[in-house]
Amino acid sequence: MKYDVTIVFKAESNPQEKVRALEKDLGLSESFIHVRNIEGHAIDVFDYKLNRGEVLRVIDKFYEIGDVAFVEVHKR
């Protein structure tokens, strides 16, 4: 079973360098980054397609690097 996981960072946190290092450590394929402009703030958003067993492990590691605003998980 696959899940779409979206990780949204706090405004102006600039997490790209930390995220790329984490992706490499976790063996994830590089995510598609897009930046949302919400109320004049740049919000970095990273999208992944993960297997069921990877979801909690990946989310936990992202929270460890900090500045995560919220995570969305949707079953495909």
Domain of residue 49: give its range.
2-75
How far is it, in rounded angstroms, from Cα 62 to Cα 33? 15
17 pLDDT band, cuts 50/70/90, is confident
Q: What is the CATH classification number for the domain harbouring 28? A: 3.30.70.260
Task: Report helix, strand or coil for 20.
Answer: helix
pTM for the structure as a whole:
0.82
Task: Indicate the number of domains in the chain.
Answer: 1
Average pLDDT, the chain: 88
Give the contacts of 62 (CB within 8 A, at least 6 positions apart).
7, 19, 22, 68, 71
- Single-letter amino acid, residue 40: G
